Amino acid sequence: MATTALHPAAPAVRGGLYEWLTTTDHKKIGILYLINSLVFFAAGGLLAMVVRLELAQPGLQFVDEAFYNQAFTMHASFMLFLFIIPILAGFGNYAVPLQIGAPDMAFPRINALSFWLLPLGGALMASGFLATGGAAASGWTEYPPLSGPTFHGTGTDLWIMGLVLIGTSSILGSINFLVTIFRMRAPGMTLFRMPILTWTVLVTSVLVLMATPVLTSALIMLFIDRNYGGHFFDPANGGNAVLYQNVFWFYSHPAVYIMVLPAMGIISEVLPVFSGKPLFGYKAFVFATVGIGALGFSVWAHHMFTTGQVFLPFFALMTFLIAVPTGVKMFNWIATLWRGKLVFSTPLLFAIGFLTMFLIGGLNGAFSAAVPVDFALHDTYWVVAHLHYVLFGGSVFGVFAGIYYWFPKMTGRMLDETLGKIQFVLMFVGFNMTFFPMHQLGLAGMPRRIADYASTAGWNELNLLATIGGFVIATSMLPFLWNVLVSLRNGKIAGDDPWGANTLEWATSSPPPPYNFDHLPEIRSERPVFDARHGRTAAH
Amino acid sequence: MSMPSRSRTGAGPLVAGTLIILAIGIAVVVLAIAGLTPGRVFDSFFPVGGQAPVTDRGHATRQLYDVVFYIAATIFLFVEGLIIFTAFRYRKKPGDDELPPQTHGNNLVEVIWTAIPLGIVLFLFLISWQTLNTVDAKAADGGTYVRAVAARFQWKFQYLDGPDGKDAKVVYEQLLPTGEGGGLILPVGEPVHITLSSPDVIHAFYVPKFLFKRDVVPGKLNAFDFTVDTPGTYRGQCAELCGEFHGAMVFEVNALSRGDYDAWFTAAVKKAQQSPPPAPSGGPVASGAPAPSGAPAPSGAPAPSGAPAAQAVQIEARNTAFTQTAVTAPANTPFAIHFKNDDAGIPHNVQVKDASGKVVVNPDVLTGPGETDYQVPALAPGTYPFDCIVHPNMTGTITVQ
């Protein structure tokens, strides 16, 4: 749709940098989220390279054990709290108001605050590297007593403070999303006409709102234990070390769905557009998303099967059950492609990468749901393989599908397809080379979080293979960076709707004007732009 | 409004597919050159490389693993095949601008693909629960009672005279977690009752060939039972991050026949009663933090001159590492190693081997803090690696010249 400049309240013109630092425009904030997340993705990636380099062969070659523990702790902290969660929130920020035909988020200034808490929290966390004793080093889960005052210094306090700020950012963001989605939808945009990405952001926001305060309470208790002689988690003084794990995972398991539901939403935008069909089983898909969100609160203790302090049958049953709505989604996605006319642009490649890899991440999770098998596999490299197939094979492939899909909307220019495909192939091959052998390493008994292993343990070759794969993944980021830098200046002009898409963000210009729309098409289904293009009758 | 122009499908997916297949092909060739047979690859999909577990509970877990594995593999092949087939079969042909059929859904298939996975996961849950009851079952009374004490970077095993509890007495304390005469020594064919105790942080007792692990939680006595059914030596390791030297916190399980076990146990108890009990012995005290620094030792210790003729070689252990990893010693004459252990509550020694890996000396373990002299016989010139028998990751070399 072409637009004319007739904005309700055209903002005063401000200088470039000043505008970006003070903006309350959800689109610019969304882009800031993306940039900030990619910076931490790079930092977390470098730390992963440190870990993989050290594990490439037995013996300590590059770092000592102390730094190794900091490296994997901060790798995970950056990737989870400062890359995956915020970048998905960034896509939500950018796309949700556009998709529901709203001019902005409900609380634009709080939206800006949510964003600016992130670099602040991230910098606090990262500043641990400058503190005496280095950054936090008890793993991203920071289990006490190891994370207590006896064993770790200031870095852990900085980690706690940083994470509390990041959590606050999430909570503010989720309230903003909920109010926006419930109060600011355009006329005709009923709940069951909302794009699936918006639905997943809605469910994710409920998860964030219910779970994140619980994490904050765990962190504050830990902080009191560390600094003011609290004994919440100190068994020598009537505390309980496993209490922390219960409270921590009550957040952090739903957080897994916070990290993957919006990526599923992205896939559910991309697959219909590039197959030329509507999403198969829209309502089933919505119910499955809500089901995952609800069940997600009853499975936290499956991270604690080996503590000897949880009621195993209940959590095993719930963990198995949560596979069902996830399976429903998988079949709906495949049915969306079935008999479609697939256009293999880069977003679709990454979306199909998501399907093939997330499938493995779901199936190898079933092994850990079978409690006795989890006794064998817990805390080995099997779990490292599982979580990377879910979060990298799933979420990160989804993130790149989203970047290639919305980049034209955000910038007005297309990313280069050839470079995109080169990135996909490198990433796909490197990913499997790195993480598939970890199944075998875990089965062979290699525990996670060890800096070194005996050369006689039989783990040498697979570790070397995983390290080479890690470098292939790192290499795959070079064509991506080059692509973004070149396309920003010289990319093909995108036009309003380069993909032949379905949802409202493609009904406005690229990039959209402030306040998004001068004119909205009629909304009579979940594909208003498709309807406008083909006429409503063509759809049925 | 006309259909917007889409990028041409062309050879893109074929090129990508070819590249992926090529990469997999190269990987297969490399693996084949590295000596991998299809059989070994297949075995690598099973716990401990397909080797049989060595406890009664382990067999039950392995059976469950196999069921889960074959179900997961079947689903994997079916769904992954479906995705790949769909992706190749339904590519858009160049010039085809017709809309594909706009199918919105089908309630019947939704019910089918909800019900079938539901059935599968309920089945998996039931057999998991059944196996769990076997794995977690309490064994009959009697047999061997051991309290495994996991302190930062150090396992020790206390043999008890009965079920762990207030009245339990420690009959023998095994300080050596690995090596000759060390490790958790157990009889085969009868129940073993393990309790887990930690004085500091959370650890985990993990023996891959048992297909089992259990966390060692401070403030709680976790317990589990099993029967080892095959004699042998099995590697074990701490599986819950416990700090810097988490990776060095290894142990071994030595399963002996009843006769061998009795012989060892009687001899070990007798030896422990004869020699004065190891210095700081007593319960799970051990590390708080690995000794703020050990303080540069109030020197003056009458060590250097106490040794025989030749000058002593100085080796010091601190923070579960040797501070000297390369030392020199005189050839063809006996010499002494003056060994200083700065790690409070943690045992170390200096085991010297020759180039072929044969043990030259393996002196008594010294629990820190403390120092002692180890006598070494005359050695031919050459390089002799040494390590700590408790912590195989502590290594260094002696150059004899």
Beta-carbon separation of B104 and A282 below 8 A: yes
Q: How far apart are CA A380 and CA A384, in angstroms?
A: 7
Beta-carbon separation of A499 and B6 below 8 A: yes
Beta-carbon separation of A369 and B124 below 8 A: yes
Residue type, A249: W
Of B128, B208, B243, Cβ closest to residue A445: B208
Please report residues of B whose CB lies closer than 8 A to that of A331: 109, 113
CATH number of A454's domain: 1.20.210.10
Beta-carbon separation of A379 and B19 below 8 A: no
Query: Would you call A462 helix, strand, or coil by DSSP?
Result: helix
- Per-residue pLDDT at B394: 81
State the burial class of residue A447 (Cβ atoms within 10 Å of its Cβ: 0-12, 13-18, 19+). Answer: buried
Nearest C-alpha of chain A: how many angstroms from B186? 20
pLDDT digits (tens, 9 = 90+) for B149-183: 998 888 989 999 999 988 899 999 888 888 777 89
Confidence check: pLDDT of B25 > 90:
no
Question: For chain B, what are the domain ranges?
Answer: 12-92+107-135, 144-274, 304-400
- Per-residue pLDDT at B348: 87
Candidates 3.30.420.10, 2.40.50.140, 3.40.50.2300, 2.60.40.420; correct CATH number of B304-400?
2.60.40.420
Domains B144-274 and B304-400 share a fold: yes
Q: Are B203 and B240 in contact (CB under 8 A)?
A: yes
Beta-carbon separation of A367 and B117 below 8 A: no
- Per-residue pLDDT at A123: 97
Please report residues of A whose CB lies closer than 8 A to that of B220: 235, 241-242, 308-309
Transcribe A501-518 into DSSP letters.
--SGGGGS-SSPPTTS-S
- In chain A the first and final C-alpha atoms are separated, in Å, by 23
- Domain assignment present for residue A57? The answer is yes
Provide the chain A residues 443-502 that lie in CB contact (below 8 A) with chain B.
443-445, 447-454, 457-458, 461, 495, 497-500
Beta-carbon separation of A375 and B218 below 8 A: no
Interface check for B29 against chain A (CB to CB < 8 A): the answer is no
Interface check for B118 against chain A (CB to CB < 8 A): the answer is yes
Interface check for A341 against chain B (CB to CB < 8 A): the answer is yes
Confidence check: pLDDT of A9 > 60:
no
pLDDT digits (tens, 9 = 90+) for B48-99: 999 999 999 999 999 999 999 999 999 999 999 999 999 989 988 888 888 9
- Per-residue pLDDT at B387: 86
- Could you tell me the pLDDT band of residue A11, with boundaries at 50, 70 and 90? low
- Domain assignment present for residue A78? The answer is yes
Confidence check: pLDDT of B274 > 80:
no
What percent helix, strand, coil does chain B show, rounded to 5? Answer: 30, 30, 40
Architecture of the domain defined by B144-274: Sandwich (2.60)
Q: How far apart are CA B325 and CA B195, in angstroms?
A: 37
Beta-carbon separation of B92 and A282 below 8 A: no
**Structure tokens belonging to residue A132:** 């005496």
- Domain assignment present for residue A194? The answer is yes
- Domain assignment present for residue A1? The answer is no
Please report residues of A whose CB lies closer than 8 A to that of B66: none
pTM: 0.88
pLDDT digits (tens, 9 = 90+) for A312-336: 999 999 999 999 999 999 999 999 9
Check whether domain B12-92+107-135 has CATH 1.10.287.90, yes or no: yes
Nearest C-alpha of chain A: how many angstroms from B183? 17
- Per-residue pLDDT at A424: 95
pLDDT digits (tens, 9 = 90+) for A279-313: 999 999 999 999 999 999 999 999 999 999 899 99
- Per-residue pLDDT at B148: 96
Give, as one character, the DSSP assignment of residue B160.
Answer: E
What is the average per-residue pLDDT within A231-258? 93
What is the average per-residue pLDDT within A49-72? 93
Domain encompassing residue A65: 21-539
Interface check for A345 against chain B (CB to CB < 8 A): the answer is yes
- Could you tell me the pLDDT band of residue A268, with boundaries at 50, 70 and 90? very high
Q: Are A207 and A257 in contact (CB under 8 A)?
A: yes
Confidence check: pLDDT of A23 > 70:
yes
Residue A228 makes CB contacts below 8 A (sequence gap 6+) with none
- Domain assignment present for residue A228? The answer is yes
Interface check for B44 against chain A (CB to CB < 8 A): the answer is yes
Of all residues in chain A, the one with the smallest CA distance to B91 is: A342
Of A337, A375, A454, Cβ closest to residue B86: A337
pLDDT digits (tens, 9 = 90+) for B204-248: 999 999 999 999 999 999 999 999 999 999 999 999 999 988 998
Mean pLDDT across chain B, nearest whole number?
84
Please report residues of B whose CB lies closer than 8 A to that of A146: 201-202, 241-243
- Per-residue pLDDT at A321: 95
Q: How far apart are CA A51 and CA A61, in angstroms?
A: 11
pLDDT digits (tens, 9 = 90+) for A353-397: 999 999 999 999 999 999 999 999 999 999 999 999 999 999 999
What is the average per-residue pLDDT within B11-21? 71
- Domain assignment present for residue A502? The answer is yes
More confident position, A4 or A434: A434
Q: For chain A, what is the domain count? A: 1
